[in-house]
Amino acid sequence: MKYINSNDYFNNVSNPKKFSIKEVLLTGQAPDKGLFVPEKLAQYDPEAIKSFKNKNYPYIAFKILYPYFDEIPEKDFEEIINSTYGNIKIPVKELYPNIYILELFHNWTFAFKDFAAQLLASVIEYYIKQNHNKVIVFVGTSGDTGPAIVEAFWKKENIKVYCLFPKNGVTRTQRKQMTTFGENIYPVEVDGDFHTCQEMAKSALDAPDLKSYNPTSANSINWGRFIPQAVFSFWLYSQIADYDEPVIISIPTGNAGHIGSNFLAKKDIGGLPIEKFIAPHNLNNYLVRMLEQGKTDPEVFDTINCLSNAMNVKKPNNIPRILYIFNNNIEKMQELIYPVTINDETTARTIKKVYEEKNYLLDVHSAVSLAGVFEFLDRNPDCKDTKIGAFLTALPAKFPEKIENILGFSPDTPDKLKEQQDKPDKNVFNLKADDMQGLKDIVCQTNSNQ
């Protein structure tokens, strides 16, 4: 692995120092706040892709991911994948003719983030057991990453998690999904927005006085959070298409880790004949403006508070990785990616439409994904015979108030979420925005007896 410097990507595309995947996962962020990327992007044998047709998710995940983790003995990685993904459910359904939905929200915390969070936690645990050392994990969240991370790392020995979330910026359900675990989980409620949390979590990785605790990141700046999501396109493809049949994929985009990792499946890299990636955003649409203007550095505006709050990201962290995947060629990006902005009105309208027409309940983020498909088809009616897969990213019950406002009733809530709502908070700390000293004090205090 090498790293790209996210601040001056164009001057510093490559770096002579190489890193092992272990270093990459256990440091999270590359030097100078850069991003780790592999020197070679994995290309797959067409025969392997053909063989995915009747295989289960762990099988496909192993084949797709192993090239990126190949310092781990094959047998060990296979065991990690099987124990992590052995019991998961990712149904694919045809909701409208030729429009398929990939339901990524049936597992641990009912959001797509779980898949990468769980694998990252399993691999870090594997290394910690081997090395007999300890790490601390920082994560800044807008509401969905935090629950996925704390659930994945809960009770993992010799690992402590500091989960920074914005006070008043997450739903009550999401808050409880982070604050009720205790043990090695330390939720930190910050009087600021998501960007403040993310910046604090990133700065903590570089803080000299925290280095001795071995800090790493569980945000998608960590390659270990980014890469596991690449499997989704291959899984979807195996479920809906015959070998070499073109498809279109829609991925709702905020910080661009989800769509970025799935670009690795494209024909010239991963080998899937994906004709277009629809990239639906809410009004926080940096990547849309980037592609429309053909510029790698469009203006950065203040965050706009939209219904799909987990996508309220003013400048996505993963843009340099996407540029790297596209070899820095913005025209190639413009050819493959269909960027679209979906406002709250359209999001709500899509939830109503799909509920009325199909009796199917979408969450606010998944609604952006499908709204992107509808808008794409309106403008490209000749694509109606191509199969389109829309990634649905969260369970509506995670955002009950929003569904209630739009449809007038609350979605059914799984027992696990209901039970969490009644549990008391544990280990919760409060900090003012940018209070890095406060964060360091929390780390020192919670590590003082060891």
Ligand X SMILES: Cc1ncc(COP(=O)(O)O)c(C=O)c1O
Strands 159-166 and 185-191 come out as parallel
Q: What is the DSSP string of 205-232?
A: HH-GGGGGG-EEE-STTSHHHHGGGGHH
Nearest to 173 by CA among 430, 434, 364, 433: 364
As measured in angstroms, the least distance from the Cβ of 145 to ligand X is 6
Measured from the CB of residue 165, what is the shortest distance to ligand X in angstroms? 12
CB 112 to ligand X: min, Å: 7
Nearest to ligand X of 310, 442 (CB atom): 310
- Residue 141 vs 238, nearer CB to ligand X: 141
Q: How far is the CB of 117 from ligand X (least distance, A)?
A: 11
Contact residues: ligand X, CB under 6 A: 111, 142, 144-145, 220, 252-259, 310-311, 365, 393-394
Strand segments, DSSP code E, in 38-174 are 92-96, 99-103, 135-140, 159-166
DSSP for 302-371 reads PP---SSGGG--SS-TTHHHHHHHTTT-HHHHHHHEEEEE--HHHHHHHHHHHHHHH--PPPHHHHHHHH
317: closest CA among 177, 143, 201, 187?
201
- The β-bridge partners of 96 are 99
CB of 443 to ligand X, least distance (A): 25
Indicate the residue among 310 and 439 with the shorter CB distance to ligand X: 310
Cβ proximity of 222 and 120 under 8 Å: yes
Which residue's CB is nearer to ligand X, number 34 or number 372? 372
| Cα radius of gyration (the chain) | 21
* Both structure tokens of 327: 């070899």
Which CB sits closer to ligand X, 88 or 436? 88
Minimum CB distance to ligand X, residue 253 (Å): 4
Q: Which is nearer to ligand X, 281 or 387 (CB)?
A: 281
